[in-house]
Amino acid sequence: MSNFNRRQFLQAAGAATACAALPRAASANTYGRVVVVGGGFGGATVAKYLRLWGGDVQVTLVEPNPTHIACILSNLVLTSALSMSRITLGYSALQTNHGVSLMQGRAIAIDPPGKRLTVQTPTGQESLDYDHLVLAPGIDFAPAPGLWDPNLTPHAWQAGEQTTRLKNQIAAMRNGDRFVMTVPKSPYRCPPGPYERACVVADYLKAKRRTGAKVIVLDANPSIQAEPEAFGRAFSDTHRGVIQYFPNAQVQSIDSASRSIVTSAGTINNATVLNYIPNQKAGAIAALLGVNSTGFVPVNPLTYATAISTIHVIGDSCAVPASDGKAVPKSGHMANSEAKVCADAILRALNGEAADQNIATSSACYSPITARTASWLSANFIYGDIYDANGKVKGKGMHRLDIGEAPGQRVNNDSYQEMFTWADSLFADSFV
């Protein structure tokens, strides 16, 4: 995605006079048009709820792929426990059940004063006029140090063809082979995801009796980033002797051809499988709005508006103001949650009303530890004062009211079964 038109965007954003020169539809026709970019958990949900709650609002969803392949549950596709069709979600229900218009294409440029989006479709460029624009493009990867070819050493951190590649490499592992994976520097998509992957790959290698096979986890962070008790136990007990965990392993260089990786905690040459999960940043079309020091787009927590009040960013691409050490996690559940706050705020704005301040957002992740057991993580946020590390109020944002992982005795088969009820409910609430 290198071909978005940054120059045109910046010109348009900078020159107020350009506004008058741009063609604009008659005001009678401009009422209540929302364009949504990206049909993942954030984009699908905001499109659905704008129509569900918005009566006559026109909503167009722009997405290049014919279906969305969810990352959620995709680690179980890696081990062949689930098929790819289980995580493949269509868009047709958004159209037939809710009247969302679909446009297949990739958003490549934004003209903020003209309120116009340019989309590259399979047949050429189209422009879409909007009153509000919602960007939900998920993540992009930071440049890899060294020679990284994701075809040889897949990330499988965006599900689909990458998932199949990694799955096939895991299936080809033999006795004594080494599965080497990296955990990106926080913040990244799905904090428990990498540790969950280590567990299910270890469990798979044991079930296949790959004697002496190892899962080596190279974590760029100083410690396990989510569910430390469940994963700590899994690494030191359930999967003891198979998983080897190294914290503070920042990647210095990678070479996909030889499957070698140099980190601040040590070097590994000739891994059997090298699952390099790179550091992450906002999707390129959202990054046009300006990013913070971690690479994500700061937003207003009441509306998800960016510095431009008619352009909103939700999901993995956005950075929500939060209390120090209590960041809002990047998850599909959270993207869905933010989408609803954003949809409500846009509908109120179209109606001349201020945003609701009595709001809450939440996240939940179920993490398989073996092919029969799972843990979970729950986090809840409400709007209000947010605090710095010393407990002093530093402003307004989404303050984390509660967080917790499954109590030890609940890391069991009941939780494993609940995982599917939750996923099906989340899939349907977002896409159906």
Partner 1 sequence: MPFPSKTISLIALSIGTVLGSTPAVAQVPPGRMLASQCAQCHGTNGQGPGFEELAGKSANDLYGDLREMKLRPVEGIMDRQARGYTDQQLRLIADYLSTVTPSGNAD
Ligand X SMILES: Cc1cc2nc3c(=O)[nH]c(=O)nc-3n(C[C@H](O)[C@H](O)[C@H](O)COP(=O)(O)OP(=O)(O)OC[C@H]3O[C@@H](n4cnc5c(N)ncnc54)[C@H](O)[C@@H]3O)c2cc1C
Site residues, ligand X (CB under 6 A): 37-43, 62-65, 68, 71-72, 74-75, 106-107, 136-138, 157, 189-190, 193, 283, 285, 315-317, 330-333, 335, 365-366
Instruction: Report in angstroms how near the CB of residue 137 gets to ligand HEC at its nearest.
Output: 25
Bond from prior residue into 23 cis (ω within 30 degrees of 0): no
Type of residue at 317: S
Nearer to ligand HEC, 49 or 387 (CB): 49
Type of residue at 39: G
Instruction: Report in angstroms how near the CB of residue 44 gets to ligand HEC at its nearest.
Output: 18
Instruction: Report in angstroms how near the CB of residue 418 gets to ligand HEC at its nearest.
Output: 6
Instruction: Return the CA Rg of the chain.
Output: 22
Nearer to ligand HEC, 100 or 365 (CB): 365
Nearer to partner 1, 289 or 347 (CB): 347
Instruction: Report in angstroms how near the CB of residue 419 gets to ligand X at its nearest.
Output: 8
The DSSP bridge partners found for residue 17 are none
Strand order through the sheet with 273-275: 243-246, 214-219, 178-183, 273-275
Show contacts with ligand HEC in window 378-397 (CB under 6 A): 378
Instruction: Report in angstroms how near the CB of residue 359 gets to partner 1 at its nearest.
Output: 6
Angle between helices 332-350 and 41-54 (to 10 degrees): 40
Distances (CA, A) of 300 to 263, 306, 322: 37, 7, 11
Structural tokens at position 159: 């599900």
Cα–Cα nearest to 193, from 332, 292, 348:
332
Q: Is 422 in the site for ligand HEC (CB under 6 A)?
A: yes
Instruction: Report in angstroms how near the CB of residue 247 gets to ligand X at its nearest.
Output: 20
Q: Exposed, middle or buried: residue 29 (CB in 10 Å: 0-12, 13-18, 19+)?
A: exposed
Instruction: Decide which of ligand X, ligand HEC, partner 1, none touches 172; Cβ closer than 5 to 8 Å per partner kind.
Output: none
Cα–Cα nearest to 256, from 275, 234, 237:
275
Sequence-distant (6+) residues with CB within 8 A of 410 are 375, 376
Nearer to ligand X, 62 or 230 (CB): 62
Nearer to ligand X, 349 or 374 (CB): 374
Instruction: Report in angstroms how near the CB of residue 398 gets to ligand HEC at its nearest.
Output: 16
Q: Tell me which of 418, 420, 429, 432 binds ligand HEC, using CB under 6 A.
A: 418
Instruction: Decide which of ligand X, partner 1, ligand HEC, none touches 43; Cβ closer than 5 to 8 Å per partner kind.
Output: ligand X
Instruction: Report in angstroms how near the CB of residue 334 gets to ligand HEC at its nearest.
Output: 11
Instruction: Decide which of ligand HEC, ligand X, partner 1, none touches 137; Cβ closer than 5 to 8 Å per partner kind.
Output: ligand X
**Are 142 and 289 a contacting pair, CB within 8 Å?**
no
Return the residue matching tokens 């989309």.
Answer: 119
Q: Is 364 in the site for ligand HEC (CB under 6 A)?
A: yes
Distances (CA, A) of 371 to 80, 273, 300, 364, 414: 10, 21, 40, 20, 12
Helices (H), 69-115: 74-78, 92-98
Fill in the per-residue mask, 321 to 360: x = in contact with ligand HEC (CB under 6 A), - = not in contact: ----------------------------------------
Give CA–CA dist 133/56, Å, rounded. Answer: 17
Nearer to partner 1, 388 or 414 (CB): 414
Nearer to ligand HEC, 299 or 423 (CB): 423
Which helix (H) or strand (E) is 127 found in, with range? strand 124-129
Q: Where do contacts with ligand HEC occur on this chain (CB under 6 A)?
A: 362, 364, 378, 418, 422
